[in-house]
Amino acid sequence: MSDLLYEKDGPIATLTLNRPERLNAISGPMLAALSERLIEANGDRDVRVVIITGAGRGFCAGLDLQDATSGAGIGGGGGMPVTLDLRTAPPTVLHSLDKPVIAALNGGAAGYGMDLALGCDIRIAAKRAKLAAAFTKRGVLPESGGTWLLPRLVGWAKAAEIIFTGRTLDADQCLELGLVNKVVADETLLDEARALANEIAANAPLAVQGAKRMMRMALAEQFDDHVHHVYLQLLPLFQSSDFREGMKSFLEKREPKFQGR
């Protein structure tokens, strides 16, 4: 069995971290495969939403420390690289993805697993799920986007408290802080994630992807610059068949049938 499973069901692509015996700890090959599959999903016209989840009772226990301490795998004693190119690393790929991404948190997400979850657009948590910012307890810092993502999600002071203490948050605490959108029963997690994915996929995909792209750009833009970019993004949408279908279906009082064109 592959350490990363990729499944398409209609407009939804599901990526499943598949090392349940290691709580889906990330190995080097898994990192490469994750980037490849995310890029594949983003370029697939049939895919409108991506779900990331884990097999077994954990979402992702972080980078594989057993491999690292044995001298193999990520951080395994090979010294620091002379150059560092993160353009195809999963956090960078995930951040630049235009397709919406839902994290279905089936269990604990620690270290890298927490950063991976925070990098998704939407997070649905099973009741047993946890987010563990265990970095400082292992002598490292959030290496895969957490220092950028967490302050934007919960504010500087709360992010500082979580990261500096290496705190573990249960699902209800995550919901209270706004780190997850919803907490559901363990056994209904994937059904809930797919229901939300299908709701998103029913909308015009070019508009959804354009909205996500503009939200991402807005994080680094002044308002005046941003509204100009939004206008430029609207121009091709006005020329799309999906825009005409959206207007026509509204006037005809029926559900639209979008083609992504």
Tell me the pLDDT band of 235, cut-offs 50, 70 and 90.
Answer: very high
Tell me the pLDDT band of 42, cut-offs 50, 70 and 90.
Answer: very high
CA dihedral (64, 67, 73, 77) positive or negative: positive
Tell me the pLDDT band of 106, cut-offs 50, 70 and 90.
Answer: very high
4-201 domain in CATH 3.40.50.720? no
Mark 120-142 as b/e (b = at least 16 C-beta within 10 Å).
bbbbbbbebbbbbbbbeeeeeeb
The C-alpha atoms of residue 118 and residue 98 are separated, in whole angstroms, by: 16
Q: Return the pLDDT at 138.
A: 87
Q: Return the pLDDT at 88.
A: 84
Tell me the pLDDT band of 86, cut-offs 50, 70 and 90.
Answer: confident
> Taking the model in full, what pTM does it have?
0.92
Question: Residue 76 pLDDT > 60, yes or no?
Answer: no
Q: How far is CA 135 from the centre of its chain?
A: 19
Tell me the pLDDT band of 64, cut-offs 50, 70 and 90.
Answer: confident
Question: Residue 78 pLDDT > 60, yes or no?
Answer: no
Question: Residue 41 pLDDT > 80, yes or no?
Answer: yes
Question: pLDDT digit string (tens) for 141-178?
Answer: 988 999 999 999 999 999 999 999 999 999 999 999 99
73: left (phi over 0), alpha (psi -120 to 50) or beta: left
Tell me the pLDDT band of 207, cut-offs 50, 70 and 90.
Answer: very high
Mean pLDDT, to the nearest integer, of 68-85? Answer: 53
